[in-house]
Structures are given as C-alpha cells and as structure tokens.
Amino acid sequence: MLLIKNCKVLVNGEFLERNILVGDDGKIEKIAASGLKTADDVIDATGKYALPGAIDIHVHFREPGITQKEDFLTGSRAAAAGGVTTILDMPNTKPATTTVALLEEKRKLAAAKCLVNYGLYMGATATNLEEVKKAINIPGVKLYMGSTTGDLVVTDKEMIRKFFHCGRKVVVHAEDEELMKKNSEMFKGQSDPSIHAKIRGNEVAGAAVREAAIIGGNIHITHSSTREEMMLIKAKGLSCDVTPHHLFLMAEELKKQGNYVKMNPPLRSKEDVEALWDAVKDGTVSCIATDHAPHLREEKEQGYWEAPSGVPGVQTMLPLMLDAVNKKRLSLQQLIKLTSENPAAMFGIKNKGKIAAGYDADITLVDMKEEKTIKNDDMLSKCGWTPFDGWKVKGVVAAAVVNGNVICSNGEITNEKVKGKEVIFA
Ligand code: NCD
Ligand code: ZN
Ligand code: ZN
C-alpha cells in the first residue's frame, strides 16, 4: 500500500489538494481530502502536483540488435526520470518487428528489462500485411512513407492503401520518398548539416500528408512539424502528434549543434514552430510524443551523410513542457490532455491516462516551482547527451510511480526490481 499525501490533483477540471491511496494491486484505491487509512509507504507531496503518468507513444528503445545505443533498461530509466510511465516502442530495430514471431521475441525482452509500462508496434513492409493483421495486443502499425533510420519503408500506393484500411491504427512517418531523393541529388557533394532542413524541406512532409489524407483510413501522423501539415490535419480532421524538439528548436540550431540535431523530419522555421504551438493550444495536436531516437556521440560526430538521424527526448519532454506551462504557453490541464489523457484514449489503453479510483497507479509528481538546468551528465539514456544541454527550466519531475511502485525520485532510479507491464489495448 502506498499513500501520497497532500498533492494537487485534477478533480472535475480543478486542481484540489488530495491524498491518493494505492492498493497492493497497483491500482488507485481512493482519492480523498481526508480520512484515508495510512499505508506502509507514505510520500508527503505537499506543494507538488500529481499528474497521470505521461504516455509517450513514440520511442525507439533499440532492442533487439541496436543495444549499443539503448535498451529497454536504459531507455526506461530515462523515461522514469522524465516522468514517462508508459512508452510505445517503435519497430525499426534489428531485426525490425515485422512478424508475429519477432513481436513475441521483443515482448520477452521488454518484460525482462523495461521499468515502465510498454506497448510494442509492428512495422509495415511491402509483404507483411497478413502478419500485422494477426498480431495480438499492439497499439498499431508504423508505416514509413519515406526512408529514415533503419530500412522500413513502403512506397507502393496500393500497399499503403491496404495498410491504412487494414483495421489497425497506422502511425505514419509522412515524408515523400521521391521528393526527398530528388532533393538529395541536388545537395550531393555538400556537407554542411544545415542542408538537412532543405533536403527534407516542408514540401516533403506536405506532399506525404496530403497523399495520406487522400488515402484515408485509421491513420495518425506522427512527428508532424510544419504549418502546412497543421492546416491539412485540421482541415481533414486527422490526428497527429508533435515532438518537443520541433516545439523548442529551429533549423538554425543545425548551425550550432550540427548533426546532433539532424533528425527526420528536420527542424523548421520560426513560422512553423509558431504554427505548431497554435495547434497545440487549439487542440489540433492530439499529443506530444518524443520520437526518442538515441544515437551515439561518435555516430553524430561523423560527416553529414554518414551521421544517423534522430535525437533523444524521453527524459526532457516533461521538464520542457512544465517550463512552458510556467511561461503560460499552455495550461497544466492542457498538458495532461496532451501527454496522458489523449494518448490513452486514442490507443484505447486500458486503465490509464487519469488519476481516478480503479485506474492504474501511474503517477508523476511534479514540482512547478523548482528550477533546474538540463545537463548531458544527468541523462540516463545510453547515448548520454541531449540537444537541450544547458537549458534552464522551471518545473521538474520529483517522482515517478509505476503500477503503485515508486521507481524514480529526484532524477535517481530507486527501484529496478519491479518491472513495468505490457499495457492492454481495447
Ligand atoms: C528515428 C530513429 O533514429 O530510429 N530517427 C529520426 O530521425 N526520427 C526514426 C524515425 O522515427 O523516423
Ligand atoms: Zn519517423
Ligand atoms: Zn521515430
């Protein structure tokens, strides 16, 4: 039994001081202002907010096969330190998660090591539609319309249409392969990392989202990053997520951090960033997802064409977003929707996304007044760096509770014995 005392909890749209009692089954038993029985473990959370644990629907924990960059243990440590209590892991591992058998193997790896709760995507290929249909309990299928890290890509229009209408939710990496290849040719011989934003210019994403919208089906556009995409998504009523790096960094950053901020889709202009923030505020954006894509420093230190695309982000999402709440860029209530409620609702994740009796006790305690500097040295991801090194934020993650177990406190992992559980998709 765990009792979290005196925390602020969202109750019917209002933050009220409450005590949360968690049962031995890892579920929230009762929430009350007073009169709760005490428990073996008590946390005094006076002055802190209790948020429903964040659900990150887009991470790359790299297991199996790419564990020099990350694995389920190190990735989930970073998640817990960042207040993320559930992750949905992407399929571009080695081998890629493209068959039911490979999905079952990944399940075993995650069950043995992942400290937070998890769900596992399958990846679409030109030939595995039937496998995807057979899979049990997956959040959906990831379909890469354009190539990116790994070798999963589906360019055949008819096959894309079949996937979009196969009965699964399809999370779409929307970049147009042909346009991208054409642009690549134009920049051959150049090596300034800034060309990344041009090779994968706004039109590359725009063309793919336009095509995806025409094909229709049960699709979700992930890491959408441009003004045009926001207009299309709003007009067509599509669901989408945006990443923290696209909200907080701009293309100029490529001049300062070089290939470290090379990712797909690339960083954009100030106008795009403003459009993303507007879309976050007006509800066009369904959720914030990190696209946590760790790569090693030595890989990022290579030349432009060799350096892999992707940045880590699962540990820094909430601190950055809490800071944005403090700066009144959005409300704490909106943030809870974007990082917990909506992801749970969109994917039908059972018993998650809310702090309420009967829900799983996945709780992130945050201190909105504390200030902290984000540092490479504090990153628990195997890659050991962040594009936000040196950023001062107000609003920190004080503790992460997963299924009723306190697994992280003040940035330190406090319990590696209990593992997270695979979530259940309705
Ligand atoms: C991702 C990776 O490294 O796996 N890279 C990236 O730049 N976003 C793949 C992806 O999501 O496109
Ligand atoms: Zn992607
Ligand atoms: Zn990704």
Which pLDDT score is estimated for 148? 75
CB 42 within 8 A of CB 5: yes
- Name residues whose C-beta falls within 8 Å of residue 188's C-beta, 6 or more positions apart in sequence: none
Which pLDDT score is estimated for 147? 78
Beta strands in 92-238 (DSSP E): 117-120, 122-123, 141-144, 170-173, 219-221
Distance (Å, whole) CA 388 – CA 374: 7
Per-residue pLDDT of the chain (426 residues; tens, 9 = 90+): 999 999 999 999 999 999 999 999 999 999 999 888 888 899 999 999 999 999 999 999 999 999 999 999 999 999 999 999 999 999 999 999 999 999 999 999 999 999 999 999 999 999 999 999 999 999 999 999 987 777 889 999 999 999 999 999 999 999 999 999 999 999 999 999 999 999 999 999 999 999 999 999 999 999 999 999 999 999 999 999 999 999 999 999 999 999 999 999 999 999 999 999 999 999 999 999 999 999 999 999 999 999 999 999 999 999 999 999 999 999 999 999 999 999 999 999 999 999 999 999 999 999 999 999 999 999 999 999 999 999 999 999 999 999 999 999 999 999 999 999 999 999
Residue 180, token pair as written in the block:
């991208």
Q: pTM, whole model, 2 decimals? A: 0.97
Atom of ligand 1 nearest to the CA of 92: 4
Which pLDDT score is estimated for 389? 98
Is the CB–ligand 1 distance for residue 142 below 6 Å? no
Is the CB–ligand 1 distance for residue 92 below 6 Å? yes
Which pLDDT score is estimated for 37? 84
Distance (Å, whole) CA 264 – CA 277: 19
Ligand 2 centroid, distance to 222 Cα (angstroms): 7
Mutate to test the pocket of ligand 1, among 147, 204, 290, 309 (most ligand atoms within 8 A of CB): 309
Give the up-direction half-sphere exposure of residue 243: CA atoms within 13 A in the CB hemisphere. 30
Residue 354 amino acid letter: K
Residue 140 amino acid letter: G
Which pLDDT score is estimated for 8? 98
**Cα 56–Cα 57–Cα 62 angle in degrees, nearest 5:** 90
Q: What is the 3-state secondary structure (H, E, C) of 271-301?
A: HHHHHHHHHHHHCCCCEECCCECCCCHHHHC
Edge-first strand listing for the sheet containing 84-89? 54-59, 84-89, 117-120
Of 318, 326, 323, 337, which is closest to residue 280 (Cα–Cα)? Answer: 337
For residue 387, the SS3 value is: coil
* Torsion sign (Cα): 9, 11, 14, 18: negative
Distances in Å between the alpha carbon of 346 and those of 55, 240, 290, 341, 377?
11, 10, 17, 9, 35
pLDDT tens string 125-149? 999 999 999 999 999 999 999 877 7
- For the annotated catalytic residues, the residue numbers are 291
Distances in Å between the alpha carbon of 315 and those of 93, 105, 111, 259, 425?
21, 26, 21, 20, 25
CB 69 within 8 A of CB 40: no
Ligand 3 centroid, distance to 123 Cα (angstroms): 12
Residue 98 has φ and ψ, to the nearest 5°, of -120, -5
Which pLDDT score is estimated for 113? 98
Instruction: Tally helices (H) and strands (E) across the chain.
Output: 15, 18
Question: Other C-beta atoms within 10 Å of 377: how many?
Answer: 7
Which pLDDT score is estimated for 146? 82
**Cα 329–Cα 318–Cα 254 angle in degrees, nearest 5:** 80
Atom 5 of ligand 1, residue of closest alpha carbon: 310
H or E element in which residue 371 lies: strand 363-373
Which pLDDT score is estimated for 421? 98
Is the CB–ligand 1 distance for residue 309 below 6 Å? yes
